[in-house]
């Protein structure tokens, strides 16, 4: 009997704690459920707001924000979407509650093409992502990895030579800078051996890009996945096979080179850096701080770098050149500054950057008006409450960096290119703690390639403007320039910038 009583004794004690706890949890759950979703357009049963699919761009969402506010809600099929367009709500999501909002959404295509999120950019927030990010920041994007910075300098030099060969002719500046950034990243990733195979790789990247952006009904209504009317599954399989064929070969070459010659200090590319962590079996172990990468991890990280580092930088360079061509007074000021600080008898060097204050302002103003990644895509890890609204777990959160940069409550004359605003004291900076200006994002998922990207942007624009004078072709007036953009992963110019260069410096190029 005694033993029976003893066995029962802990039970009431447990109940004493669990019943109120369950009650409390129930209360919290009910309160949360009672919170409304953020406001938003009314949808239809099952498909929700699918008729608004074509408005899920930075411009479309900014327009809807004017109607529904800085945070609004859409439902596309089964997917909840939340658009954030005000600096205050962005702070809530990227800083105050970043533990809930730091996952990444991935479509079926993205999951498949990233080898089931074996990369960093699409990995959910957690131990794997943390280790990958640490590795990438330290080994690939660090200022200490001098080879990446060197490839920027070499490729900018080569672009200047291309322009010299075309002085007096109409140059497609857009194509020029896209091929510049592809060369930089290709070389930083795969080595300086040659550009062999680059065309094949670009074709693979383009197909990946199309598949990333393709509409797939199964992303929104999973049980319709069997239909696959556009034959996407077939294309996905083919795209991944092409990438496997291309990169496996490069990885094998690197492994053989290492076996033959060992690691040559100062001559390593990103594949070499990643191969130092290569193993057949992936492993993440936070306690012993070690990480092992499989081939899939290596391939997926290389694709992150390709996608993260090419279009973003190229689009920023092209927009900066275009805005300056459209604003001749600002262009004149920048070129006068270059002549004063550098002088026309030599080229720009990195040590000049700090003194090129007006150029810096123009680049910031470009990133404010044209953030290369206009929508930051995040996903909630659990149910959340923001600004008194309920946001369910696994919601897709789109932070509209483009709309935030043009928010008239934060910026005077928000739609106008006005670089001098950045000369004023206390004006927001893009380091990530001013939520009025977030071209690189902010917090945990912010851009790890910011330093490298800014270096390429500074160096390229400074060279193009210092070495050459630029005129619009065929007597076109600045006011006639088309400043529209197109929406994808980035928002480049809809019409490529074309301009005619003339040599400006007196030193040899």
Residues at the contact surface with ligand HEM, assessed by CB under 6 A: 120-121, 133, 304-305, 308-309, 312-313, 316, 372-373, 376, 439-441, 445-449, 452-453, 457
Q: What Cα–Cα distance (Å) separates residue 296 from each residue in 240, 244, 248? A: 11, 9, 10
Nearer of residues 40 and 372 to ligand HEM, judged by Cβ: 372
Count of Cβ atoms closer than 10 Å to residue 76 Cβ: 20
CB-based closest residue to ligand HEM: 449
Q: What is the DSSP string of 145-210?
A: -HHHHHHHHHHHHHHHHHHHTTTTS-EEHHHHHHHHHHHHHHHHHH-SS--TTHHHHHHHHHHHHH
Minimum CB separation of residue 306 from ligand HEM in Å reads: 8
Nearer of residues 57 and 312 to ligand HEM, judged by Cβ: 312
Nearer of residues 40 and 441 to ligand HEM, judged by Cβ: 441
Output the six-digit token pair for 474: 């065929």
Nearer of residues 232 and 391 to ligand HEM, judged by Cβ: 391
Reported as type and span, the H/E element at residue 430 is none
Contacts of residue 401, Cβ cutoff 8 Å, sequence gap at least 6:
58, 371, 373, 374, 375, 376, 438, 439, 441
Nearer of residues 312 and 327 to ligand HEM, judged by Cβ: 312
Nearer of residues 50 and 399 to ligand HEM, judged by Cβ: 399
Q: Which one, of 489, 503, 433, lies nearest residue 314 by Cα?
A: 489
Minimum CB separation of residue 297 from ligand HEM in Å reads: 13
Output the six-digit token pair for 97: 């509650």
Nearer of residues 305 and 391 to ligand HEM, judged by Cβ: 305
Nearer of residues 50 and 300 to ligand HEM, judged by Cβ: 300
Minimum CB separation of residue 117 from ligand HEM in Å reads: 11
Output the six-digit token pair for 2: 């005694």
Give residue 218's Cα distance to chain centre: 25
3-state secondary structure of 31: helix
Minimum CB separation of residue 55 from ligand HEM in Å reads: 21
Alpha helix stretches (DSSP H) within 69-138: 87-91, 108-113, 127-135
Minimum CB separation of residue 370 from ligand HEM in Å reads: 9
Count of Cβ atoms closer than 10 Å to residue 181 Cβ: 25
Hey, what long-range contacts does 413-417 have (CB within 8 A, 24 or more apart)? 415/369, 417/323, 417/326, 417/327, 417/330, 417/365, 417/366, 417/369
Contacts of residue 347, Cβ cutoff 8 Å, sequence gap at least 6:
463, 466, 467, 505, 507, 509
Minimum CB separation of residue 452 from ligand HEM in Å reads: 5
Residue recorded with tokens 């902010």:
442
Phi-psi domain of 168 (left: phi exceeds 0; alpha: psi -120 through 50; beta: other): left
Minimum CB separation of residue 277 from ligand HEM in Å reads: 17
Q: Which one, of 180, 231, 232, lies nearest residue 208 by Cα?
A: 232
Nearer of residues 376 and 505 to ligand HEM, judged by Cβ: 376
Nearer of residues 291 and 313 to ligand HEM, judged by Cβ: 313
Contacts of residue 60, Cβ cutoff 8 Å, sequence gap at least 6:
52, 54
Minimum CB separation of residue 376 from ligand HEM in Å reads: 4
Minimum CB separation of residue 150 from ligand HEM in Å reads: 14
The DSSP secondary-structure symbol of 123 reads: S
Output the six-digit token pair for 296: 């899939």
Minimum CB separation of residue 105 from ligand HEM in Å reads: 11
Half-sphere exposure in the Cβ direction for 325 (13 Å, CA): 28
Minimum CB separation of residue 165 from ligand HEM in Å reads: 27
Output the six-digit token pair for 279: 């193993």
- What gap in Å lies between CA 205 and CA 211, rounded to an integer? 10
Known binding residue 447? Answer is yes
Nearer of residues 139 and 504 to ligand HEM, judged by Cβ: 139
- What gap in Å lies between CA 448 and CA 134, rounded to an integer? 10
User: Binding site: which residues?
Assistant: 447
Annotated binding residues for heme, as ranges?
447
């Amino acid at each position: 009997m005694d033993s029976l009583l003893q066995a029962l004794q802990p039970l009431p004690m447990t109940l004493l704690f669990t019943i109120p706890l369950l009650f409390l949890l129930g209360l919290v759950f009910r309160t949360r459920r009672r919170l409304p979703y953020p406001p938003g357009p009314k949808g239809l049963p099952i498909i929700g707001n699918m008729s608004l699919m074509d408005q899920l761009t930075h411009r479309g969402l900014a327009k809807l924000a004017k109607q529904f506010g800085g945070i609004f809600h859409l439902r596309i099929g089964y997917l909840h979407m939340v658009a954030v367009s005000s600096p205050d709500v962005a702070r809530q999501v990227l800083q105050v509650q970043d533990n809930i909002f730091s996952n990444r959404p991935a479509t079926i295509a993205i999951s498949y093409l990233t080898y089931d999120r074996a990369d960093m950019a699409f990995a959910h927030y957690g131990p794997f992502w943390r280790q990958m990010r640490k590795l990438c920041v330290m080994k690939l994007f660090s200022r200490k990895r001098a080879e990446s910075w060197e490839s920027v300098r070499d490729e900018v030099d080569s672009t200047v030579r291309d322009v010299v060969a075309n002085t007096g002719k109409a140059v497609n500046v857009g194509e020029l800078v896209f091929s510049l950034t592809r060369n930089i990243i290709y070389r930083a990733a795969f080595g300086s051996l040659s550009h062999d195979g680059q065309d094949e790789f670009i074709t693979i990247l383009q197909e990946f890009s199309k598949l990333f952006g393709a509409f797939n009904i199964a992303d929104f209504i999973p049980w319709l996945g069997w239909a696959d009317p556009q034959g996407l599954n077939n294309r996905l399989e083919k795209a991944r096979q092409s990438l496997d064929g291309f990169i496996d070969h490069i990885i094998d070459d690197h492994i053989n080179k290492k076996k033959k010659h060992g690691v040559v200090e100062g001559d390593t590319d990103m594949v070499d850096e990643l191969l130092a962590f290569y193993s057949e079996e992936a492993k993440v172990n936070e306690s012993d701080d070690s990480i092992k990468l499989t081939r899939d991890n290596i391939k997926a990280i290389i694709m992150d770098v390709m996608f993260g580092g090419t279009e973003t930088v190229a689009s920023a360079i092209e927009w900066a050149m275009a805005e300056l061509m459209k604003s001749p007074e600002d262009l004149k000021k920048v070129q006068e500054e270059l002549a004063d600080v550098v002088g026309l008898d030599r080229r720009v060097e990195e040590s000049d950057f700090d003194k090129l204050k007006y150029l810096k302002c123009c680049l910031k103003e470009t990133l404010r008006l044209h953030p290369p990644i206009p929508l930051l895509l995040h996903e909630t890890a659990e149910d959340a409450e923001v600004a008194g609204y309920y946001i369910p777990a696994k919601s897709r959160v789109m932070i509209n960096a483009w709309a935030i940069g043009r928010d008239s409550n934060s910026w005077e004359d928000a739609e106008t290119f006005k670089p001098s605003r950045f000369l004023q004291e206390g004006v927001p900076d893009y380091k990530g703690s001013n939520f009025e200006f977030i071209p690189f994002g902010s917090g945990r998922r912010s851009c790890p390639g910011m330093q490298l990207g800014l270096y390429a942007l500074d160096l390229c624009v400074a060279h193009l403007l210092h070495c050459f004078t630029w005129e619009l072709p065929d007597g076109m007036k600045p006011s006639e320039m088309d400043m529209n953009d197109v929406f994808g992963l980035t928002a480049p110019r809809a019409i490529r910038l074309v301009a005619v260069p003339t040599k400006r410096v007196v030193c040899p190029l």
